[in-house]
Amino acid sequence: MSDRKRIYVAYVGGTIGMKSTESGYAPVPGHLTEQVRDNPQLHTAEVPELSICEYAPLLDSANALPADWLRIARDIATRRQHYDGFVVLHGTDTMAYTASALAFLLRGLDKPVVVTGSQIPLGVLRSDGRQNLLTAVLVAARDDVREVCLVFGSHILRGCRTVKSSASGFEAFASPNLPPLGMAGVQIQVDESRLLGHASGAVGLPMDLDAPVNLLRVYPGMPAGLLEAAMAPPARGLIVEGYGAGTLPTHDAALLRTLAAGAERGVVVGVVSQCVDGRVDLNAYATSQPLIEAGAVGGLDMTTEAAYAKLVVLLSEGHDPDEVRRLFASDLAGELTV
Ligand code: ASN
């Protein structure tokens, strides 16, 4: 038997395997597999053996749902004994959400999962897809990586710390509150001191990933009706993207009544900051007090993407609201700094 590592590549969708159509770029079944098959660089002895699975339907990631996150996690979990590592090829638009969700869903997995994609399709001149795919595959073959990473351009980032920071640049992702796990330059260098340690290897996935959670960005002049709609049944969770350290307008009595009524019904509220850098501290300002009274939990330095995915996962796992609040503020997959 060959000692080449075996990597499972799930092509979920995204620009990397898209073709130009009359209405713009769209994923075309078979195209990515063909591009990989016809690229001799991906079939040399230094590159691990790749098994590609194209999902159906292929998605522009703008259409990805939490159910798709669960589908990817299940796909990886059922194959975890058969492969050394996993690559998820995904659209960039919601890649940070999917990478975050996979980190929570697969938090017991002891193998590398690398999410990547591209800004220009593989078959198009100047595509960044070939380099991103190659780097992702090489990172997925490493023995020291045992977590969900996002590889893009020269950055190797912790998946649940990422945000899409550029709509057109080749360095399209950042992890504002955590230094990169590594860099892919002339050499692929990973800083082992930043990696997560061994996990149990056991993965327990929820049956469905369907807990209704909303996401609301606070803004000057926001009407109470918007918050009311965001907390109305069937909502079980709400991520509030507050200002700065986690503040919101407190001059509007209707807004505060709505918040209290939602909390009364048991809606779990998590608070993140609109600032990309820094952390939430609900004890810093009086304008955070109504959130504390509503039992809201500060998301510390979590990204909005991670906070949303985390609340969906925790509520779908069936914990009671108090346990969800406790877990939301705990470090489950390296997504926050306590
Ligand atoms: N719209 C695409 C997607 O998210 C963007 C990309 O992949 N670069 O699927």
Residue nearest to atom 7 of ligand 1 (CA): 91
Q: Check whether 210 is labelled as a binding-site residue.
A: no
Tokens representing 201 are: 């290897």
Query: Which of 165, 10, 160 shows the shortest CA–CA distance to 99?
Result: 160
Which stretches within 107-231 are classed as H helix?
Answer: 129-140, 224-231
28, 32, 59, 93, best to mutate for ligand 1 pocket (most atoms within 8 Å of CB): 93
In DSSP notation, 245-276 reads: TTB---S-HHHHHHHHHHHHTT-EEEEEESSS
With a 6 A CB cut-off, is 116 part of the ligand 1 pocket?
no
E strand or H helix at 312: helix 304-316
pLDDT over 80 at 1, yes or no: no
| For the CA of 172, the nearest atom of ligand 1 | 8
How would you classify the pairing of strands 113-116 and 85-89? parallel
Q: Is the CB of 62 under 6 A from ligand 1?
A: yes
* 17 CB within 6 A, ligand 1: no
Tell me if 320 is assigned to a ligand binding site.
Answer: no
301 with 164: CB under 8 angstroms?
A: no
CA of 117 to the centre of ligand 1 (A): 8
CB 7 within 8 A of CB 140: yes
Q: Once rounded to an integer, what is the mean pLDDT over residues 277-294?
A: 96
pLDDT in tens, 220-257: 999 999 999 999 999 999 999 999 999 999 999 999 99
Q: Is the CB of 129 under 6 A from ligand 1?
A: no
Pocket-testing residue among 31, 59, 61, ligand 1, by greatest number of atoms within 8 A of Cβ: 61
Q: What is the mean pLDDT of residues 309-322?
A: 97
- Which ligand 1 atom sits nearest the alpha carbon of residue 60? 9
* Mean predicted lDDT score pLDDT of the chain: 96
Residue 333 scores a pLDDT above 80? yes
Ligand 1 lined by 15 (C-beta under 6 Å): yes
**Catalytic annotation, residues:** 15, 92
Burial of 321 (0-12, 13-18, 19+ CB in 10 A): middle
135 appears as a binding residue in the annotation: no
Residue whose CA lies nearest to ligand 1 atom number 3: 91
- Measured at the CA of 313, the angle between CA 312 and CA 318, to 5 degrees, comes to 100
Q: Residue 121: CB within 6 Å of ligand 1?
A: no
Question: What pLDDT, on the 0 to 100 scale, is given for residue 93?
Answer: 98
What are 77-110's pLDDT values in tens digits?
A: 999 999 999 999 999 999 999 999 999 999 999 9
- Domains of the chain and CATH, by start: 6-194 (3.40.50.1170), 213-328 (3.40.50.40)
313, HSE (Cβ side, Cα atoms, 13 Å): 28
pLDDT at residue 3, rounded to an integer: 82
Pocket test for ligand 1, best of 90, 92, 95 (most atoms within 8 A of CB): 92
Overall pTM surpassing 0.85 (yes/no):
yes
Cα-to-centroid distance, 16 and ligand 1 (Å): 8
What is the per-residue pLDDT across 32-77, written as a single tens digit (0 to 9) for each?
999 999 999 899 999 999 999 999 999 999 999 999 999 999 999 9
Q: Most distant CA pair in the chain: distance in Å?
A: 70
Cβ of 91 less than 6 Å from ligand 1: yes
Checking 156-159 for CB contacts under 8 A at 24+ apart, the result is 156/180, 156/181, 156/182, 156/183, 156/184, 156/188, 156/190, 157/181, 158/103, 158/194, 158/334, 158/335, 159/96, 159/99, 159/100, 159/102, 159/103, 159/113, 159/115
Residue 119 has pLDDT above 90, yes or no: yes
